[in-house]
């Protein structure tokens, strides 16, 4: 099972834009708070920005190649032993299969490890937690959802 404490990067499939973060947060072991990577455009409205920021979400600006803010927010959470969650496909989709996966989770883990080593941070190493979220009938209200934490006991 995954640790109750220590830095984690949680990667999950993303079939339902609204429900996936809620389901992932509700089912994650040890009731750990997940800090989601959220596309920056979701934070365009002041009320949405307040809600998302208050919940610890980390904005991802897809239009910029400058990842300093993204990685600073990620490193801050991980260095405090928190869990960061993201959807490596980059968007939600309706296809009943995994779409093209982006390398953000691996890159974040590598960059965090490099940063932690160079800065003398003595915390636990970051772990990547793959999660599968599958809906039995996504278009049907109250259909079943199956959540599987890959590698969990």
pLDDT at 100: 66
How many domains are there within the chain? Answer: 1
Q: What is the DSSP letter of 150?
A: T
Backbone angles phi, psi at 61, to 5 degrees: -95, 100
Residue 141 lies in a domain: yes
pLDDT in tens, 78-89: 999 999 999 987
Tell whether 1 is covered by a domain. Answer: no
pLDDT at 99: 64
133-149 confidence digits (pLDDT tens)? 888 887 777 789 989 99
- Whether 32 is covered by a domain: the verdict is yes
In-domain check, residue 3: no
Show the domain range for 56.
8-149
If we measure between CA atoms, which residue out of 17, 128, 145, 131 comes closest to residue 83? Answer: 128
The answer to the question of residue 13 being in a domain is yes
Helix (H, G, I), strand (E, B) or coil at 153: coil
Strand partners, 135: 145
pLDDT of residue 1: 64
31: in domain: yes
Report yes or no on 2 lying in a domain: no
pTM: 0.84
Residue 113 lies in a domain: yes
Q: CATH no. for residue 76?
A: 3.40.1130.10
* Low-confidence spans in the chain with pLDDT less than 50: none
């Amino acid at each position: 099972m995954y640790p109750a404490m220590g830095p984690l990067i949680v990667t999950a499939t993303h079939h339902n834009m609204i429900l996936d973060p809620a389901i992932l947060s509700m089912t994650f072991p040890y009731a750990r708070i997940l800090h989601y990577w959220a596309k920056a455009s979701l934070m365009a409205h002041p009320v949405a920005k307040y809600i998302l920021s208050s919940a610890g979400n980390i904005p991802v600006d897809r239009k910029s190649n400058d990842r300093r803010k993204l990685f600073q927010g990620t490193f801050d959470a991980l260095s405090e032993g928190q869990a960061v969650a993201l959807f490596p496909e980059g968007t939600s989709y309706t296809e009943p299969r995994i779409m093209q996966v982006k390398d953000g989770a691996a890159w974040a883990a590598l960059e965090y490890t490099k940063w932690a080593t160079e800065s003398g941070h003595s915390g636990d190493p970051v772990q990547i937690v793959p999660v599968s979220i599958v809906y039995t009938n996504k278009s049907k209200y109250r259909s079943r959802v199956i959540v599987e934490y890959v590698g969990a006991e």
